[in-house]
Structures are given as C-alpha cells and as structure tokens.
Copies of this chain bind each other. A is one copy, B any other.
Amino acid sequence: MSSSELKNVGLKATLPRIKILEIMQKNRADHMRAEEVYQALREGGEDVGLATVYRVLTQFEDAGLVIRHHFEGGHAVFELNEGHHHDHLVCVKSGKVIEFTDPVIEERQQAIAKKYGFKMTDHTLIIYGVSSEYQDNED
C-alpha cells in the first residue's frame, strides 16, 4: 500500500496522490510525462485534474519520491526514484530508455568538478544512439 510511503515523506494520503504513486510504480521501466500520467489515471477511471498531476509530481520530486528529467523535446519526464543513481541510454529511433551506471565515469565526474572548484550537487549523462533492432532499417 502506497499510503504509508506518502506519510513517511510527510504527505497526506489523498486519493490522487495514492493513484499517481501507484501508476509510477506500475510503470517503473518508463519515464512518463505529466500528460501520460494524467491519461493513465483517466483510463483507470479516476477523475483527477491535470493541474493536480503537476502539483503532485512536483511534491513527489521535492519529497525525493520521483526524479524529473529534461530530455529533448520541451517537456519534462518523471521516473520513480529508486535510490540508486543511474544514467540513461536513449534510442533516438524507438525512444527506448536503458539505465546504467559506470563507476569510472562517476569517479571522473567528481574529479572534474573538483578540478574546477565546484561542489557537485548532481549530474545527468544521456547517451543518444540507435539500438540494435533499428540499425539495419534504413528509413
């Protein structure tokens, strides 16, 4: 039950919040836009407004439950924060997203921030490419 997770982060367990958290958990593999979460709610028969979806996702972000990303395309995508940091490999043909981490890269990033006198707070690495299934398809 997701209501306890909400209370743990200091949020009242309201129906919209519970449903939105469930949707994010059910779609762990995806990186969803606010609009997509809204659609999922409506398909589930829930009568929640889009404005609430935005408000709740922002609260979830502040609470550390989700992470907001700015990939290409003028809109944000959200994913469940599962604690472990990772980077992204995005297929430019299919939109498929693979998550990975590389200790060498992590370490180099720390070193670079330090070299320039920065205290690193966060970082984003996105590799864009063509996944194997699409490499032979000449569009």
Contact = CB atoms under 8 A, between A and B. Distances in A.
Nearest to A70: B70
A20 to B, nearest CB: 21
Instruction: Tell me how many chains of this kind the complex includes.
Output: 2
A108 B118 contact: no
A70, A98, A126: which has the most chain B beta carbons within 10 Å? A70
A119 interface: yes
Contact of A126 (B74, B116, B123, B127): B123
B109 A105 contact: yes
A104 interface: yes
Interface of A: 70-74, 76, 89, 91-92, 98, 100, 102, 104-105, 108-109, 112-113, 116-132, 135
